[in-house]
């Protein structure tokens, strides 16, 4: 009943493809690189190792994904569990990364303790793992006898093989067994059996719930570190062991506390009211004495709980209190990143007090690539990135709270939707006024000296492509009312500039018509492209990020305090 191991499968890094798969692999590997990364995150985990073996380009694309980097660095335990239970074909890379970055239980919202349920692939605490209907797992034979299922019905339940090991205190070590989801079986049977609830409460069957779960550390996106599991209260656990012979009511609170895993912050709150833990720390060997000798505990800061408001606030904290931890760095996803963007942004980031984490993507931000920014606190975009309402909603759902523009223009950003979502938006208003002026003068000299023209004015546009109506310019050039034209910007430049189209057919007829005139010069938005301008863009972008990080007003903000500061009907003015 279980899905077999794929034929010719040797290991996670070695796989021999059949002849009937070669053509499909070559066709897939030849896809455009812009559309390659967005679809990879939806691939199941079982296909990712095979994809990396197709060619070097596929391996580079997969390795460059931030989701894959996080999963490969901190989620190998869960990945091995999916492969061993043969459930890796049902969990995509994006789903794996989403659960890895989730701390709370998906059913009750409490701290999960680093536990994940394999059939549902969701965070689950011990209480929900024991009692929730969605997490109930039973043996394949038991479900077949209970519901009288046929082989076809059993196959539709997607049986899998559990992990072996010790699941409870009383049960001996268990070997892997074929199991199915009791919740799915109940839905398939249509509640035909009245004794289904009694079977779900059977203790012998509930042990499979723990065999169908595994540990998965929680990856904190802000700190960039993984937190393994939770903390049990040792005092409550020892109290449970000593009172095990007593009645259930007398030790009910201890049983509940023993089955509860706490986060670091919750454990500090639990320590305040727990009566057993301070006593056990002195009477039992809860901690490693050797470790305590080499690393003595720091004194607990004394806090003045008096309600007297005349107390000096400087005396509330003990002088021996350690310094507060350094601020947590932020994750910044940079789209449309060229090699020079990497160099200048990395250099500007190194000058900040807090070195943030930068992830570079060489493709633009679109509705297809927006899920790749999941987990990033902020995104950095350029003029050819489309930040429409659906894109902003996807970014907001993935945890992004700031939009940083590496340009002065903001007409490609839906500021009204950003205001509704509460996203911070900032641009770089003036980064190369001297360079643009010098470039405009150079274009003027080029038109005046090196082109054949009739008597007439020369039009030079280094500001915004929308300022020039291309159809009217073509008509003026043909009638010789316009002596020359020099364009550094173009109205439809987003689909043409910044990418190599030398091997493609340009579909823009108006631009191609302009290129046929001898007195027309078209540049690919290069007026700003100086070392000074790139330095200013990178430094101003990182300053905007630092203002958002420190929660201070940003002078370049376009959305602030629920109001759109920039008017959509106007264009930015370069100083």
Kind plus residue range of the DSSP H or E element containing 180: strand 178-181
**What are the angstrom distances between the C-alpha of 187 and each of 131, 150, 178, 181?**
17, 15, 19, 10
Instruction: From the candidates 493, 536, 539, 543, give the one annotated as an active-site residue.
Output: 493
Instruction: From the candidates 464, 510, 513, 574, give the one annotated as an active-site residue.
Output: 464
Find how far residue 367's CA is from the centre of its chain. Answer: 15
DSSP, res 313 = G
Map residue 204 onto helix, strand or coil: helix
Residue 474 φ then ψ, to 5°: -60, -40
| CB neighbour list of residue 206: distance below 8 Å, 6 or more residues apart | 130, 136
Rg of the chain over all Cα atoms, to the nearest angstrom? 31
What is the spatial distance between Cα 234 and Cα 241, in angstroms, rounded to a whole number? 11
Residue 231 φ then ψ, to 5°: -125, 130
In DSSP notation, 434-493 reads HHHHHHHHHHHHHHHHHS---SS-EEEE-S-GGGS-HHHHHHHHHTT-S-EEEES--TTG
3-class SS string, 207-273? HHHHHCEEECCEEECCCCEEECCCECCHHHHHHHHHCCCCCCCCCHHHHHHHCCCECHHHHHHHHHH
In DSSP notation, 41-87 reads TTSBTTTHHHHHTT-HHHHHHHHH-HHHHHHHHH-HHHHHHHHHHT-
Tokens read off for 288? 């490693």
531 is catalytic: no
Start-to-end C-alpha separation, the chain: 71
| CB neighbour list of residue 101: distance below 8 Å, 6 or more residues apart | 70, 218, 219, 221, 375
Contact (CB, 8 A) for 357 and 331:
yes
Contact (CB, 8 A) for 504 and 498:
no
Tokens read off for 478? 């043909």
Kind plus residue range of the DSSP H or E element containing 152: helix 151-156
Rounded to 5, what percent of the chain is helix, strand, coil?
40, 10, 45
By DSSP bridging, strand 424-426 and strand 557-560 are antiparallel
269 is catalytic: no
Catalytically active residues, by annotation: 464, 493
């Amino acid at each position: 009943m279980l899905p077999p191991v794929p034929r010719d499968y040797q290991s996670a890094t070695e796989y021999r493809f059949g002849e009937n798969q070669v053509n499909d692999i070559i066709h897939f590997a030849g896809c455009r690189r812009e559309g390659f990364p967005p679809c990879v995150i939806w691939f199941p985990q079982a296909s990712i190792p095979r994809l990396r073996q197709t060619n070097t380009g596929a391996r580079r694309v997969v390795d460059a994904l931030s989701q894959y980097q996080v999963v490969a660095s901190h989620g190998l335990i869960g990945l091995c569990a999916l492969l061993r239970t043969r459930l890796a074909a049902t969990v995509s890379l994006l789903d794996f990364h989403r659960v890895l970055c989730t701390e709370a239980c998906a059913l009750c919202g409490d701290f999960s303790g680093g536990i994940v349920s394999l059939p549902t692939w969701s965070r689950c605490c011990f209480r929900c793992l024991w009692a929730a209907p969605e997490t109930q797992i039973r043996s394949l034979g038991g479900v077949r006898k209970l519901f009288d299922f046929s082989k076809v019905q059993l196959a539709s339940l997607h049986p899998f093989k559990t992990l072996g090991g010790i699941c409870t205190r009383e049960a001996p070590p268990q070997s892997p067994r074929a199991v199915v989801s009791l919740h799915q079986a109940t839905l398939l049977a249509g509640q035909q059996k009245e004794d289904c609830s009694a079977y779900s409460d059977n203790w012998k069957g509930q042990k499979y719930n723990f065999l169908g779960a595994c540990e998965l550390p929680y990856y904190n996106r802000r700190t960039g570190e993984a937190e393994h599991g939770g903390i049990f209260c040792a005092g409550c656990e020892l109290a449970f062991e000593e009172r095990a012979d007593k009645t259930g009511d007398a030790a009910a609170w201890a049983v509940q506390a023993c089955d509860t895993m706490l986060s670091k912050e919750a454990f500090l709150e639990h320590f305040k009211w727990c009566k057993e833990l301070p006593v056990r720390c002195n009477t039992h060997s809860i901690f490693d004495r050797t470790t305590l000798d080499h690393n003595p505990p720091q004194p607990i800061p004394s806090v003045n709980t008096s309600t007297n408001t005349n107390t000096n606030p400087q005396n509330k904290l003990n002088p021996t209190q350690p310094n507060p931890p350094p601020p947590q760095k932020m994750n910044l996803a940079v789209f449309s990143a060229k090699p020079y963007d990497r160099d200048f942004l990395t250099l500007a980031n190194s000058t900040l007090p807090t070195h943030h984490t930068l992830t570079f993507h060489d493709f633009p931000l679109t509705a297809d690539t927006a899920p790749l920014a999941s987990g990033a606190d902020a995104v950095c975009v350029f003029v050819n990135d489309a930040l429409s309402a659906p894109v902003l909603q996807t970014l907001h759902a993935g945890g992004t709270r700031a939009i940083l523009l590496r340009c002065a223009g903001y007409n490609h950003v839906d500021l009204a939707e950003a205001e509704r979502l509460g996203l911070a938006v900032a641009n770089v208003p003036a980064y190369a006024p001297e360079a643009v002026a010098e470039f405009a003068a150079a274009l003027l000299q080029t038109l005046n000296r090196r082109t054949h023209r009739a008597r007439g004015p020369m039009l030079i546009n280094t500001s915004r492509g929308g300022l020039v109506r291309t159809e009217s310019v073509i008509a003026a050039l043909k009638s010789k009312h316009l002596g020359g034209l020099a364009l550094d910007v173009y109205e439809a430049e987003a689909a043409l500039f910044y990418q190599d189209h030398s091997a493609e057919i340009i579909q823009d007829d108006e631009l191609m018509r302009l290129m046929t005139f001898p007195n027309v010069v078209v540049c690919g938005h290069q007026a700003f492209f100086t070392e000074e301008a790139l330095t200013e863009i990178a430094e101003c972008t990182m300053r905007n990020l630092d203002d958002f990080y420190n929660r201070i007003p940003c002078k370049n903000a376009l959305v602030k305090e629920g109001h759109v500061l920039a008017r959509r009907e106007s264009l930015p003015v370069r100083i």
